[in-house]
């Protein structure tokens, strides 16, 4: 027990040099070294700005790419709550949705320009988040998670159903600022906002406010004894998260051209949590990669040659493999009198058989010619949670943990594959 | 319940008693008031709906009481069981055996969850475990969509007759009565388990002092397995009993009953098994009254709104719930 507890050392600031690489402190890259580093950074920029969207995707997928940038903004917003303030939000679809409806209302009803809509959406987003943050001062941990969950559903059903503001079930229009169906410039607008959000996040974490947030995340009581104003900084953290989410929501509204309440369901909130945790808390680059991955999953399946076809094959292969593997495990477990192992084997086998059964036996009506094909949406629903569970159980730092060595190298250090091990990461804190 | 009370100072125990009495008195006043303004049907409908929430809430309380985890996968344990029930009954297997198979599969799912997700994260923060159980729920939902497509289905009830009992002019189907009976039996059995059996005491010990429990020779890991299997079977019971009432679709329990069940458990104090049932009834009445009162006619989504208000109020005013110890 004690070994498990002490294994993960906590570092105070992710950006500080971990103690085990201080040996390399005198190291300065040569001119060629700097050239290589800037070369890599430059190629990433070229890939994102031109090569990817124009050449690789043929200039046809601006919508999906804009969505990826917006998801990244939402991921960074959620990161402020989970990663910095240390409270979980299961109702983030409310944060985003309020921004979306606010901007749509300002642009269509009040006939203000797009940028005013985004600005007001950000402010309203920050305001509602700060109200919720006030609640977080009284109710913490698991119970607060419950409140956010309930708040998300409340927003979806009640707030977004108010006829005069949101248009009720009919929804509200939100025109694309760059003209109808002209998504290419909009992608760059989204990127600009993402850059702005990144800058604010980065600056905030370099200042007193950022250090205060990290301290109170570790332990609010200890932070208070060091003179940190726990209330003010918690509410500030919520405000920043709401600000980012409001921007993301406004951009999302104008990307879709339309907002209605059914978009902002509980499952969207779970996807947000998923992509942030898989991306890696407190690692901005990791979160951007994770969010973009989930936003582009559909695109990935459509664009990679033969993948869609192969998934259709997997539709039969996976359950057969599961069934056989489960059976083997069950028999082995039974022979060795490991009854729990045998039970797990039976469970795995049953999952395989269950997936197979509607295909082999037409028990489910209306499925004469449409037995379950692993369609992209279902694929995302299955792959996403698996990634989340693998991340939580085996790689608590997510994608961010994997890319830490590269980040470390890019910032002018010697390449060290061991940077950012378990010492550097911790999912979240006990505040229950 | 049985555990905390003995060691708690007498003063707080008295305070808790007064709070409980005051709460029940307030509830009584509300009920009388609702009767006076002619909302009798709302009360009956609320109690009926609340029973399903309470049934799901029992499983949540069981897991929380014994491992301090909020189990977001509880609803999906039930939904998976319902899918199995559907697949087996449509294959012509008799209902009783089909239901048994469904519960066994739910139990195995609980076993798998505990082994693959909960145990590796045993020393992780509770909030991480919450996210992990939500991940399990999402995975189940994904598999259900894969197998079953997002279309509503019907599954046979255990008891078919619907016009046997009538209260205030509202017929209560036998299936509903079965849910009440199931709650009573399960809550009583669990209360007995936790207060009168060695295994139940071991479960409580493992949750309060895992290291010491290990040292006296009780395997905390096995206790954890046992608890998750029990919780999953309870979820299965909740699913199998409630699915025939409304029909089912992938994720139906999670989307309709999980948050009310959590609210019910919070109201009941999250460690009290009868409290989960009481909380379920309160949530049910609040929801049905909110949707039938003229006062809230213009509020969209009155059921969700009442749930949110109820949850925030109870957590601000009395975070330990009505029947929970400190």
C-alpha to C-alpha distance for B214 and B252, rounded to whole angstroms: 39
What confidence tens digit (pLDDT) does each residue in B70-110 have?
Answer: 899 999 999 999 988 888 887 778 889 989 999 999 999 99
| Closest C-alpha to B58, from B201, B180, B212 | B180
Provide the pLDDT for residue A137.
Answer: 86
Provide the pLDDT for residue A251.
Answer: 95
C-alpha to C-alpha distance for A265 and A155, rounded to whole angstroms: 10
Residue A281 zone, left/alpha/beta (φ > 0; ψ -120 to 50; rest): beta
* Minimum mean pLDDT range among A5-19, A294-308, B10-24, B224-238: A5-19
Provide the pLDDT for residue A348.
Answer: 78
* 8 Å CB contact of A392 and B131: yes
CA A162 to chain CA mean position, Å: 29
Distance from CA of B242 to the nearest CA of A (A): 21
- Decide if pLDDT at A282 tops 70: yes
A191: its two tokens: 């990127």
C-alpha to C-alpha distance for A201 and A213, rounded to whole angstroms: 12
- Decide if pLDDT at B228 tops 90: yes
Cβ of B299 under 8 Å from any chain A Cβ? yes
CB A133 within 8 A of CB A225: no
CB A103 within 8 A of CB A254: yes
| Closest C-alpha to A409, from A41, A10, A12, A76 | A41
Residues A127-152 have a mean pLDDT of: 90
CA atoms within 13 A on the CB side of A341: 11
C-alpha to C-alpha distance for B90 and A307, rounded to whole angstroms: 34
Interface test with A, best of B82, B93, B104, B128 (most A CBs within 10 A): B128
Give strand pairing partners of A27.
none
* 8 Å CB contact of A358 and B147: yes
Residue A361 zone, left/alpha/beta (φ > 0; ψ -120 to 50; rest): beta
C-alpha to C-alpha distance for A323 and A83, rounded to whole angstroms: 39
Reduced to 3 states, what is the DSSP secondary structure of residue B170? strand
CB B127 within 8 A of CB A145: yes
Cβ of A297 under 8 Å from any chain B Cβ? no
Provide the pLDDT for residue A312.
Answer: 63
Which residues have a Cβ under 8 Å from the Cβ of A402 and sit 6 or more positions away?
A: A286, A395
DSSP letters along B25-76, please? HHHHHHHHHHHHTT-HHHHHHHHHHHHHHHHHHHHHHHHHHHH----TTHHH
- Closest partner residue to B108 (CB to CB) among A157, A346, A393 is A346
* Minimum mean pLDDT range among A163-177, A417-431, B128-142: A417-431
- Decide if pLDDT at A17 tops 60: no
Position B19 confidence tier, pLDDT thresholds 50, 70, 90? low
Express the helix, strand and coil content of chain A in percent, nearest 5 each. 75, 0, 25
Provide the pLDDT for residue B199.
Answer: 92
Position B25 confidence tier, pLDDT thresholds 50, 70, 90? confident
A274 contacts in chain B (CB < 8 Å)? 135, 138
CA dihedral B39, B43, B45, B50 (to 10 degrees): 150
Provide the pLDDT for residue A237.
Answer: 94
* DSSP 8-state symbol, A17: P
Parallel, antiparallel, or unpaired: how do β-strands A258-259 and A172-173 relate?
Answer: antiparallel
* 8 Å CB contact of B304 and A88: no
Cβ of A421 under 8 Å from any chain B Cβ? no
Residues A299-306 have a mean pLDDT of: 71
Long-range Cβ contact pairs of A207-212 (< 8 A, separation 24 or more): A209/A233, A209/A236, A210/A84, A211/A13
Provide the pLDDT for residue A357.
Answer: 61
* 8 Å CB contact of B304 and A340: no
A378 contacts in chain B (CB < 8 Å)? 142, 145-146
- Tell me which residue has tokens 């295909």: A359
- Closest partner residue to A382 (CB to CB) among B117, B143, B319 is B143
* Minimum mean pLDDT range among A246-255, A294-303, B311-320: A294-303
Provide the pLDDT for residue A429.
Answer: 42
Provide the pLDDT for residue B9.
Answer: 43
Position B123 confidence tier, pLDDT thresholds 50, 70, 90? confident
pLDDT above 90 as % of chain A: 29
Greater confidence, A248 or A161? A248
Mean pLDDT over all residues of chain A? Answer: 80
CA B84 to chain CA mean position, Å: 20
Q: In chain A, which residue's Cα lies nearest the Cα of B138?
A: A385
CA dihedral B216, B217, B219, B220 (to 10 degrees): 0
A220: its two tokens: 């609010």
Compute φ and ψ for B171, nearest 5 degrees: -75, 135
- Closest partner residue to B87 (CB to CB) among A346, A354, A366 is A354
CB atoms within 10 A of CB A306: 8
Greater confidence, B310 or A13? B310
Q: Is A76 exposed, middle or buried (0-12, 13-18, 19+ CB in 10 A)?
A: buried
Provide the pLDDT for residue B78.
Answer: 93
* DSSP 8-state symbol, B93: -
* 8 Å CB contact of B308 and A138: no
Which residues 60-79 of chain B have a CB within 8 Å of chain A? 68, 70
CA dihedral A114, A120, A126, A131 (to 10 degrees): -140
CB A277 within 8 A of CB A425: no
- Closest partner residue to A430 (CB to CB) among B90, B91, B125 is B125
* 8 Å CB contact of A432 and B303: no
Provide the pLDDT for residue A306.
Answer: 65
Distance from CA of A159 to the nearest CA of B (A): 8
- Decide if pLDDT at A423 tops 60: no
Residues A243-251 have a mean pLDDT of: 96
Q: Would the ipTM clear 0.90, i.e. be above it?
A: no
CA atoms within 13 A on the CB side of B136: 28
Cβ of A371 under 8 Å from any chain B Cβ? no
C-alpha to C-alpha distance for A147 and A125, rounded to whole angstroms: 18
Provide the pLDDT for residue A364.
Answer: 45
* 8 Å CB contact of A355 and B131: no
């Amino acid at each position: 027990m004690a070994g498990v507890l002490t294994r993960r050392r906590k570092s105070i600031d992710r950006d500080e040099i971990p103690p085990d690489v201080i040996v390399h402190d005198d190291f300065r890259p040569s001119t060629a070294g700097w050239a290589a580093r800037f070369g890599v950074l430059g190629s990433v920029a070229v890939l994102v700005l031109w090569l990817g969207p124009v050449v690789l995707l043929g200039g046809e997928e601006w919508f999906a790419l804009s969505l990826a940038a917006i998801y990244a903004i939402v991921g960074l917003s959620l990161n402020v709550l989970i990663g910095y303030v240390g409270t979980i939000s299961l109702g983030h679809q409310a944060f985003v949705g309020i921004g979306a409806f606010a901007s749509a209302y300002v642009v269509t009803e009040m006939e203000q320009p797009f940028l005013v809509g985004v600005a007001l959406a950000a402010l309203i987003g920050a305001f509602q988040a700060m109200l919720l943050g006030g609640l977080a001062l009284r109710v913490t941990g698991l119970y607060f998670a419950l409140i956010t969950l309930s708040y998300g559903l409340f927003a979806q059903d009640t707030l977004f159903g108010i006829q005069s503001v949101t248009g009720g079930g009919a929804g509200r229009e939100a025109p694309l600022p760059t003209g109808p169906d002209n998504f290419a410039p909009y992608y760059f607008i989204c990127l600009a906002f993402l850059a702005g959000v990144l800058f604010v996040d980065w600056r905030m974490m370099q200042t007193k406010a950022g250090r205060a947030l990290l301290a109170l995340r570790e332990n609010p009581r200890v932070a208070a004894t060091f003179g940190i104003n726990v209330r003010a900084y918690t509410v500030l953290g919520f405000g920043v998260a709401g600000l980012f989410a409001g921007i993301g929501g406004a951009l999302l509204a104008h990307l879709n051209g339309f907002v209605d309440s059914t978009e902002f369901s509980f499952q969207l909130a779970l996807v947000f949590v998923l992509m942030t945790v898989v991306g890696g808390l407190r690692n901005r680059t990791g979160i951007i990669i994770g969010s973009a991955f989930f936003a582009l999953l559909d695109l990935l399946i459509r664009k990679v040659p033969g993948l869609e076809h192969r998934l259709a094959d997997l539709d039969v292969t996976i359950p057969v493999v599961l069934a056989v593997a489960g059976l083997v495990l069950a028999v082995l477990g039974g022979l060795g009198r490991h009854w729990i192992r045998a039970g797990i084997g039976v469970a795995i086998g049953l999952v395989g058989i269950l997936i197979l059964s509607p295909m082999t036996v037409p028990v489910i009506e209306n499925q004469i010619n449409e037995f379950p094909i692993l369609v992209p949406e279902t694929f995302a629903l299955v792959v996403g949670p698996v990634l989340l569970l693998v991340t939580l159980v085996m790689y608590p730092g997510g994608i961010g943990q994997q890319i830490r060595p590269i980040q470390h190298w890019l910032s002018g250090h010697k390449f060290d594959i061991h940077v950012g091990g378990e010492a550097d990461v911790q999912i979240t804190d006990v505040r229950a | 319940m049985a555990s905390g009370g003995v060691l708690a100072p007498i003063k707080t125990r008295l305070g808790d008693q007064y709070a409980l009495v005051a709460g029940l008195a307030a509830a009584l006043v509300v009920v009388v008031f609702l009767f006076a303004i002619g909302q009798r049907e709302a009360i009956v409908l609320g109690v009926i709906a609340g029973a399903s929430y309470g049934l799901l809430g029992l499983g949540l309380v069981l897991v929380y009481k014994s491992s301090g985890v909020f189990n977001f996968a509880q609803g999906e344990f039930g939904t998976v069981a319902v899918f199995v029930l559907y697949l087996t009954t449509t294959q012509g297997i008799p209902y009783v055996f089909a239901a048994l198979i469904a519960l066994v599969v739910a139990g195995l799912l609980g076993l798998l969850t505990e082994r693959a997700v909960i145990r590796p994260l045993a020393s992780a923060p509770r909030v991480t475990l919450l996210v992990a159980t939500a991940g399990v729920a999402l995975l189940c939902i994904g598999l259900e969509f894969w197998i079953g497509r997002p279309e509503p289905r019907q599954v046979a009830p255990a008891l078919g007759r619907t016009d046997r009992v009538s209260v205030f002019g509202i017929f209560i189907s036998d299936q509903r009565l079965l849910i009440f009976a199931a709650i009573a039996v399960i809550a009583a059995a669990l209360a007995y388990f936790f207060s009168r059996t060695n295994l139940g005491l071991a479960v409580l010990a493992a949750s309060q002092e895992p290291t010491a429990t290990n040292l006296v020779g009780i395997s905390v890991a096995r206790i954890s397995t046992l608890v998750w299997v029990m919780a999953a079977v309870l979820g299965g019971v909740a699913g199998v009993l409630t699915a025939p009432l409304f029909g089912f679709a992938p994720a139906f329990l999670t989307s309709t009953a999980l948050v009310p069940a959590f609210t019910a458990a919070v109201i009941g104090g999250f460690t009290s098994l009868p409290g989960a049932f009481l909380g379920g009834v309160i949530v049910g009445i609040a929801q049905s009254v909110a949707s039938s009162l003229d006062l809230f006619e213009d509020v969209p989504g009155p059921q969700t709104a009442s749930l949110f208000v109820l949850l925030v109020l109870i957590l601000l005013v009395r975070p330990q719930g009505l029947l929970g110890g400190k």
